[in-house]
């Protein structure tokens, strides 16, 4: 008799759950994705449903509809609800809180096991219902990448078992509630890309288990949390594009667990030499556009995993430490727009993985060291607006991947080496304001013209084409074949003008720089609308 009663209760529950899910299905704009949802047994081959309806997983299957038609109170066994990456719209209904309060007086069913709710990457609107505070057992709440608005409800502080709390990329406003301090188990808190503001509540210092804290792209003011890394587990901390002021928290100096730190574009202050320590696991640090001052510490060289060091637009002074050349994993250095003095450290030539070196707008002096030719992966070199002097080194032309070179507004002397016209993939070259104290070899200037002309003709950067060793006639054929396919093929009289430009480009591609036309000759040739070719083209 007891077995029959248990079986009958189970059958009844399955029927209740089936009706709840079928009612939800019937409300969708497109039901074809759930064609397997038929009958009264949700666990039997129903897409995304486990046998006991404890887990509903409908990720990225094209659902279009709302949550309001799902009767949450009829799903007593649910543990996980993952409906991310669909096209769900409307509000998160307040009755969702019944998932943690469900009971049936006849069979004494009681639910207190809902642990994961993931409706992220949809089009949900409205506010976060205060009833989410009923989720006492919830460990993961992922509401990111929706269109939610309003405040973060105080009741979120009741989710005392929460580990993962993700609200990024919404339109949330107001301040972070002080009850956030009750979430002492949370390891990942992501609030970036909202419209939140105000001072951070002091209660955030209680979140000692944080591994990831993302506060970027909001309107927060005041100080960063003082004890942000007291738990010793913080790995990813982002608070850029806000309005934070004051010093860097002292707990960050000894936070050896840090992997990624982004504090750009705030109003933080302090002596950068004293505020940061040695981080063995740190691979990215961004401190640009703040009010830091002092000297750059040689300790950054001891951060063996560091790939990106970005501290531009501050008030740093002194010389660039020679020890920085020991940080051999660096890919990007941006120290531009500070007050660095002294010579360009030749030790930086030891950074063989370096991709970008940005030192413009400082007070650096002396020569560019010839050792810079060792940086075979260098893509961008910006040294503009310094006090660099001496001759421009021809070794710059040995950088095979260099696409952007800016040496403008310095004190170089002598001719510009003709070798600088032999770059293979250079995209931008700025040598402006070098001409009034030195003779400029304009055979190099024609390089920029040929890159620009080919980019217009092809609709993209010409890449290795500019270093082609083909004959002029072969180049001419290839140019016409590689015209931007998004445009219709030119007809007379436009085709003749395109052919003229192509012929001029051919002349500019002559391997010996001294045999190329000057820009004055190029300009005159372009003005001759009846001229079929240039004298330089055989």
Report residue 389's pLDDT band, with 50, 70 and 90 as the boundaries.
very high
pLDDT at 85 exceeding the cut of 80: yes
pLDDT tens digits, 406-432: 999 999 988 878 777 777 788 888 887
Q: What is the mean pLDDT of residues 185-194?
A: 98
Between 215 and 71, where is the model more confident? 215
Report residue 51's pLDDT band, with 50, 70 and 90 as the boundaries.
confident
pLDDT at 438 exceeding the cut of 80: no
Q: What is the mean pLDDT of residues 228-251?
A: 95
Q: What is the mean pLDDT of residues 513-525?
A: 70
- Distance (Å, rounded) from C-alpha 195 to C-alpha 173? 5
pLDDT tens digits, 94-123: 988 766 554 444 344 444 678 999 999 999
Q: Give the model's pLDDT for residue 99.
A: 65
Q: Give the model's pLDDT for residue 469.
A: 56
Q: Give the model's pLDDT for residue 510.
A: 63
Q: Do 442 and 417 meet the contact criterion of CB atoms below 8 Å apart?
A: no
pTM of the model: 0.81
Average pLDDT, the chain: 85
Q: Give the model's pLDDT for residue 447.
A: 62
Cα dist from 405 to 296, 360, 449, 496, whole Å: 25, 11, 15, 34
- Distance (Å, rounded) from C-alpha 278 to C-alpha 298? 10
Between 435 and 496, where is the model more confident? 496
Check residue 49 and report its DSSP letter.
B
Q: Residue 428: beta bridge partners?
A: 404
Q: Do 387 and 363 meet the contact criterion of CB atoms below 8 Å apart?
A: yes
Q: What is the 3-state secondary structure (H, E, C) of 248-309?
A: CCHHHHCCCCCCEEECCCCEEEEEHHHHCCCCCCCCEEECCCCEEEEECCHHHHHCCCCCEE
Q: What is the mean pLDDT of residues 53-62?
A: 93
The answer to which of 344-353, 401-410, 412-421 has the lowest mean pLDDT is 412-421
Q: Give kind and range of the element (H or E) at residue 519.
A: helix 519-527
Instruction: Give Cα 499 distance to the centre of its chain.
Output: 42
pLDDT at 91 exceeding the cut of 50: yes
């Amino acid at each position: 008799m007891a077995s029959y009663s248990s079986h009958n209760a189970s059958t009844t529950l399955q029927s209740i759950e089936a009706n709840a899910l079928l009612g939800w299905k019937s409300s969708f704009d497109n039901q074809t994705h759930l064609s397997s949802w038929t009958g009264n047994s949700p666990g039997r081959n129903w897409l995304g449903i486990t046998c006991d309806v404890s887990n509903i997983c409908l990720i990225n299957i094209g659902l279009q509809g709302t949550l309001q038609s799902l009767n949450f109170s009829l799903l007593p066994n649910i543990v996980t609800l993952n409906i991310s990456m669909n096209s769900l719209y409307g509000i998160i209904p307040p009755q969702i809180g019944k998932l943690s309060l469900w009971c049936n007086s006849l069979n004494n069913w009681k639910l207190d096991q809902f642990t994961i709710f993931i409706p992220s990457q949809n089009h949900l609107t409205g506010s976060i219902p205060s009833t989410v505070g009923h989720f006492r057992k919830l460990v993961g709440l992922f509401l990111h990448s929706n269109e939610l608005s309003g405040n973060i409800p105080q009741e979120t502080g009741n989710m005392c078992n929460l580990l993962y709390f993700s609200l990024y990329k919404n339109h949330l406003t107001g301040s972070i509630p002080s009850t956030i301090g009750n979430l002492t188990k949370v390891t990942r808190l992501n609030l970036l890309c909202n419209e939140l503001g105000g001072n951070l509540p002091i209660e955030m210092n209680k979140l000692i288990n944080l591994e990831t804290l993302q506060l970027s792209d909001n309107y927060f003011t005041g100080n960063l949390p003082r004890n942000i890394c007291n738990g010793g587990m913080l790995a990813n901390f982002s608070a850029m594009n806000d309005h934070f002021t004051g010093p860097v928290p002292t707990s960050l100096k000894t936070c050896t667990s840090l992997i990624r730190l982004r504090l750009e574009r705030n109003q933080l202050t302090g002596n950068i030499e004293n505020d940061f320590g040695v981080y063995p696991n740190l691979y990215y640090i961004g401190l640009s556009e703040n009010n830091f001052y002092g000297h750059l510490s040689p300790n950054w060289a001891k951060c063996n995993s560091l790939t990106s060091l970005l501290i531009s637009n501050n008030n740093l002074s002194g010389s660039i430490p020679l020890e920085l050349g020991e940080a051999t994993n660096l890919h990007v250095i941006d120290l531009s727009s500070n007050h660095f003095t002294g010579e360009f450290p030749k030790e930086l030539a030891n950074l063989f993985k370096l991709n970008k070196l940005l030192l413009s707008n400082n007070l650096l002096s002396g020569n560019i060291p010839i050792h810079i030719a060792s940086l075979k992966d260098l893509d961008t070199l910006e040294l503009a607006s310094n006090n660099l002097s001496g001759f421009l080194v021809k070794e710059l032309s040995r950088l095979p991947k260099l696409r952007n070179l800016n040496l403008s507004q310095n004190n170089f002397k002598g001719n510009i080496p003709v070798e600088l016209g032999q770059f293979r993939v250079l995209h931008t070259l700025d040598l402006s304001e070098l001409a009034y104290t030195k003779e400029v070899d304009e055979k190099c200037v024609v390089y920029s013209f040929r890159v620009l002309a080919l980019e217009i003709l092809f609709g993209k950067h010409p890449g290795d084409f500019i270093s082609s060793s083909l004959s002029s006639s072969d180049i001419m054929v290839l140019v016409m074949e590689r015209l931007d396919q998004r445009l219709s093929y030119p007809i007379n009289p436009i085709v003749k003008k395109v052919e003229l430009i192509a012929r001029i480009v051919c002349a500019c591609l002559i391997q010996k720089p001294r045999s190329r036309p000057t820009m004055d000759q190029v300009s005159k040739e372009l003005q001759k609308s009846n001229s079929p070719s240039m004298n330089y083209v055989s």
